[in-house]
Structure 1
C-alpha cells in the first residue's frame, strides 16, 4: 500500500525535472543547439585568397570593383553557401541552384541586368559581369538576396550567416 502512495509523486517529480533544468539553463539557443552554425566568408580586394570560417582557400580569380560596385566570383560564394553553379558556354548562361530555387544569369549585352528565378524575370541595378570565364555578381545583391550579413572594411568583404 505504501508503494502505491509513493508512486504518483515520484512519477510526477521525474517528469518535471527535465523541464526545470531547461528553465535554469543560461545562454542562447545557439549555445545549446548544434544545428545552428555560423558561416563566415571573407574576400580581400586584389587577392585570390579567401577565408571560410577562418580556413584559407584560393580561387582562380579575385574580387573586382566595376563601375563603383564590388563583385565576387559566384562559384566560390555558391560553393561555400551550400549552392551549386553550372555554366553553358554556348548560350552564355550561368545557373545557380540554391536547393529552393534556380537562378539563371547572362553576362552579355542588355541581358546582364536581367536574371530569372524559376523562369520569372527580375532586374538588377548593376550588371552580372564575366572575367576570364568566371561569372561575378555584385556582393551586395548576393547578401541581400540570400539573407547574409555583409560588411566591407579596408578592402575586406565579410559575409556571415547563421544556419
Structure 2
C-alpha cells in the first residue's frame, strides 16, 4: 500500500512539474535588447548576460541563448551541439534549429531561409532576433533612435465593462530621482518596493534662451540656478541630484524641468492590467479608453504626439482624435517613461479623464490633485484617493 501511495505521489509530482514547465513556456513576454548593453529587459526587469547586442553590416545581432530565455524558452530546451555547430530551441511544440555560417534554418524540420547566417562572437551564438521571435509568435521592432530591439506580442486587452477603469490596487507611489525603486502603498495600506526597471530621472533641456535672447548651456548652470531658486547651496542640490539622477537632453521639446518615471510597471501597480498595455519600441498603447477594450490612446516615442481611438459605445462612432502629452514620451534603455512636472502630470493624464466628474481608468478613484514634483527634495508622490 505504501508503495502505491508513493507511486501516486511521484506521478502527481511529475504531472505538476510538467504543468509548471508548460506554464513557463506558455508565458508571453516583452523583451528589449539595446545595442552595446550586456543586459536585457524582460517585462520591466533587468536581466544580466555575458554578451552584448551589436550591429554588423547594418543588421542588429542578439545573443541567441538570452533571446530564447527572454521569450520564455526553458533553459533546458536551449541546446548546443558543438560538433555540428547547431543551436536548438524548443517551446510550445515548435523546435528551431540554427547552424553557424548557414542561412538555412529549420522549424519543426521545415527548411526556411534567412538573409544572414548565425555567427559566433566571444563564444556566443548571435543572429537577428526576428527569425526566432516570429517562429514563437512574437513581433519584432527596431528603433534606430534608441538603438533597441523590442520583442513583443499582440495583446488581448481586458474589457473594463463599460466602466472607465479597473479595480484599484494601490493608492500611492513615491519615487525619488535616481532611484530604480518606487515605494508603493497598496489598497490595504501595506507598502512595498517596486522595481521599475529603470531609474526615475530629472530631465532638463541642454540649452535655453534667456530674456536677452542669449543661448545658455543649461547643463552647466542648472544646479547653481536651482540652488538660488530654492534658497539652497549648490552642494545641497548635488546631494538631492547626484550624478545618475538627472538627464540632459538635446530634444528641444524636453526643455521644461520634469521628473520622468517608467510608465508600465507603475500603471500595473495601480491596477491597469498587463494585457492592456502594449509597448513595441515605437508606440506605447493603453487599452480601455472610454470604458471599452476597443478604445485606446497611442503615444509616439520621443514625441508629444498621441492618438485616441474612441470605441463604438456610449454613442461613440469609432473615430480617432489627435492629441498630445505635456512632455515627450522619453525612451531610456528601451523603456517608455512619462513626465511629471510641478503643475502638470502626464502619468495621471494617461490614467484619468475629465468626463462630467473625474473618472479614472481605475474604477472608483479620482486623482487628488495634479501630482506636484517636489523639486527641492527630488521626489514625486503619485497619490490617488478612493471614493
The TM-score by the shorter chain falls in which range? 0.5 to 0.7
The structure showing larger relative contact order (alpha-carbon pairs under 8 Å, at least 6 residues apart) is: 1
Distance 1:139 1:124 in 2: 11
TM-score w.r.t. length of structure 2: 0.30
Q: 2:91 aligns with which of 89, 92, 98?
A: 98
1:155 alignment counterpart: 147
Q: How many equivalent residue pairs? A: 125
Q: Distance in 2 between matches of 1:141 and 1:91?
A: 20
Provide Cα deviations, 1:8-29, integer angstroms capped at 9, x if missing partner: xxxxxxxxxxxxxxxxxxxxxx
RMSD: 2.2
* TM-score (normalised: structure 1): 0.68
SS in structure 1 at match of 2:71: coil
Instruction: Give runs of aligned pairs for residues 28-107 of structure 1, distance below 5 A.
Output: 39-83=29-73, 84-107=77-100
Which SS does the other structure have where 2:51 is aligned? Answer: coil
Structure 1 residues 127 and 100: alpha-carbon distance in aligned structure 2, compared to 1, 3 A threshold:
same
Residue 141 (str. 1) matches residue 131 (str. 2): yes
- The aligned residue for residue 108 of structure 2 is 118
The 5 Å alignment of 1:17-36 reads: none
How much does 1:113 deviate? 0.4
Q: Give, in angstroms, the shift of residue 37 of structure 1.
A: 7.0
Tell me by how many angstroms 1:57 deviates.
1.1
Residues 120/37 of structure 1: CA separation in 2 closer, same or farther (3 Å cut): closer
SS at match of 2:30: strand
Match of 1:130 in 2: 120
Runs of 4+ in 1 over 4 A off after TM superposition: none
